Amino acid sequence: MDVKKELLPVVEGIILEEQEGVTLGDLCRMCSVHADYVLDLVEEGILEPLEGRAGMYRFQGDCVIRTRKAVALQRDMGVNLPGVALALQLLDEIETLRERLRRLEDRQEPVLP
């Protein structure tokens, strides 16, 4: 039976990581955290604000993911902020290495006897 399926309306989204000019308030709302917490993350070097006017923080969208990870790591693992910073740095490194490994393995030709 050929029933024409009614199409749902299309939901438009944006690429979070490429969103620029996320304000401190946006970041707090999107991550359910206090501004103080974000400032602590900046101080610890976990978040790097974009260059901007003095006193007006703007963040790249990938800071949202980073802030959430920081919150989750603190909540679930009981690490402090320097611990979060270290964990995130190591996770970044592992991710880079995994990528390289995957690429190398992809290109590995079978070895002849």
By CB under 8 A, name the binding residues for other proteins: 7-19, 28-30, 32-34, 37, 61, 65, 69, 72-73, 75-78, 87, 91, 98-99, 103, 106-107
Closest to other proteins by CB, 54 or 84? 84
CB of 102 to other proteins, least distance (A): 9
CB of 95 to other proteins, least distance (A): 8
Determine which helix (DSSP H) or strand (DSSP E) holds 105, and give its type and residue range: helix 81-107
Inter-residue contact 83 to 44 (CB < 8 Å): no
CB of 23 to other proteins, least distance (A): 15
CB of 42 to other proteins, least distance (A): 17
Closest to other proteins by CB, 48 or 99? 99
- Distance between terminal CA atoms of the chain? 57
Q: Give the integer Cα–Cα distance in Å for 91 and 27.
A: 22
**Dihedral pair phi/psi, residue 23, rounded to 5°:** -80, 165
Would you call 22 helix, strand, or coil by DSSP? strand
**Amino acid in the structure at residue 89:** Q
Closest to other proteins by CB, 43 or 98? 98
